Amino acid sequence: MDSRSPELVLGSASPRRAELLAQLGLSFSVIAADIDETPVREETPRDYVQRMAREKAEALVGIGSALLLTADTTVVLDDVIQGKPRDRADAQRILKGLSDRSHDVYTAICARQGSRSETVLVRTVVEFAALTPALINAYLSTDEPWDKAGAYAIQGFAGSFVRRVDGSVSSVIGLPLVETRELLARFGIVARLQGSTA
């Protein structure tokens, strides 16, 4: 970033999003947003994930002139949101439902600076191989599934569950890099290759 670029703040407690944003060669600070993530009655998954990204930005509105970037990711099967598992039984139910099927992963990103705000929605289709009960139970004995939408982490062991991805893998992890880079550029923050002096 040059001196004319706004300060960048990532409004997320997710270490995965911070790691992805760092790949763009940008300096940023991190502030977590604490909001109610309960879906509204009859709200579509697409509307839900965009509302979550916007509400995270609104919750952190008092950060001055900085550019705030927030995001939300949800896994959707048969138009039903598959959130973070409540317990082992819930995680088993989610993974059994995803087994040998395709599902949607929606990530919304929101950039906000002062009164200006823009939200972008990214859809990725993920197809799982068949998961045996033994494989599901073994996976649930790891630390991976418990704070993840859909009870899996594609960047971890669950990557071996995935037969096919149509769309952005980084979006499934939590931050679609192409769309994030393009969105930040519209607000005056240009991503850099590491080591670039241009």
Q: Which helix (H) or strand (E) holds 122?
A: strand 116-128
> Contact 93/151 with Cβ under 8 angstroms?
no
Return the active site residues.
72
Say if strands 67-77 and 80-82 run parallel, antiparallel, or are unpaired.
Answer: antiparallel
Relative orientation angle of helices 177-186 and 15-22, to the nearest 10 degrees: 70
Strand partners, 165: 126
Say how far apart CA 18 and CA 155 lie, in whole Å.
14
